[in-house]
Amino acid sequence: MSLSTSILLTIALAPLVGCLLAGFLGKFIGRAGSHSVTILGVAISCALSFYVLYQLSFGGAEVYNQNIYTWFQIGQLNASVGFLVDRLTAMMLVVVSLVSLLVHVYTIGYMADDDGYTRFFSYISLFTFSMFMLVMSNNFVQLFFGWEAVGLVSYLLIGFWYKRPTAIFANLKAFLVNRVGDFGFLLGIAAVLYFLHTLDYATAFGAAPGLLGKTLQITAGTHWDAATVICICLFIGAMGKSAQVPLHVWLPDSMEGPTPISALIHAATMVTAGIFMVARMSPLFELSSTALSFVLVIGATTALFTGLIGIVQNDIKRVIAYSTLSQLGYMTVALGVSMYSGAVFHLMTHAFFKALLFLGAGSVIIAMHHEQDMRYMGGLRKYMPITWITMWIGSLALVAVPFTSGFYSKDAIIEAVGLSHRWGAHYAYFCVMAGALVTGLYTFRQMYLTFHGKERFTVVAAHGHGAHVEHRDDHGHHEPGVMHEVPKESPWVVTLPLILLAIPSLLVGFFTVGPVLFGGWFGSAIHVDEANNMLGELGQEFHGSLAMALHGFTQLPFLLVLAAFAITTYVYLFNPAMADRIKNALKPFYNVLNHKYWFDALYFVVFARGSTRLGRLFWKAGDTAAIDDVMVNGSVGLVHRIAATMRRLQSGYLYHYAFAMILGLILLLGGYWLVDSGFMGHGLVGQ
Give 10-residue mean pLDDT values along the chain (687 residues): 90 96 93 95 97 93 92 82 95 96 94 91 95 95 94 92 90 91 95 93 94 85 90 95 92 89 83 94 95 97 96 94 95 96 96 95 91 92 95 97 96 95 95 97 96 87 45 48 83 94 96 92 92 88 93 96 96 92 92 91 76 71 66 73 73 72 82 69 46
284 touches 345 (CB < 8 A): no
pLDDT of residue 294: 97
Give the C-alpha distances (Å, rounded to integers) separating 60 from 10, 87, 136, 269: 21, 12, 20, 28
| Alpha-carbon span 525 to 553, nearest angstrom | 33
- CB 462: neighbour CB atoms within 10 A? 14
pLDDT of residue 78: 81
pLDDT of residue 211: 92
136 touches 81 (CB < 8 A): no
Residues across the chain: 687
pLDDT of residue 464: 44
- CB 538: neighbour CB atoms within 10 A? 19
436 touches 552 (CB < 8 A): no
| Alpha-carbon span 233 to 235, nearest angstrom | 5
Q: In one letter, which amino acid is 304?
A: L
253 CB burial (10 A radius; 0-12, 13-18, 19+): buried
pLDDT of residue 505: 96
Considering the entire predicted model, what is its pTM? 0.88
| Alpha-carbon span 271 to 532, nearest angstrom | 26
pLDDT of residue 495: 94
Q: Which helix (H) or strand (E) holds 113?
A: none
Q: In one letter, which amino acid is 358?
A: F
The rounded Cα 234 to chain-centroid distance in angstroms is 15
pLDDT of residue 619: 67
Q: In one letter, which amino acid is 647?
A: R
| Alpha-carbon span 83 to 674, nearest angstrom | 85
* Best CA proximity match to 395, nearest among 257, 473, 498, 242: 498
pLDDT of residue 624: 65
HEC-encoded secondary structure of 13-36: HHHHHHHHHHHHHHHHHHHHHHHH
Long-range contacts from 348-351, C-beta under 8 angstroms, 24+ separation: 348/91, 348/95, 348/409, 348/508, 348/512, 349/397, 349/405, 349/406, 349/408, 349/409, 349/504, 349/505, 349/508, 349/509, 350/267, 350/406, 350/409, 351/95, 351/99, 351/267, 351/268, 351/272
| Alpha-carbon span 296 to 668, nearest angstrom | 87
pLDDT of residue 685: 44
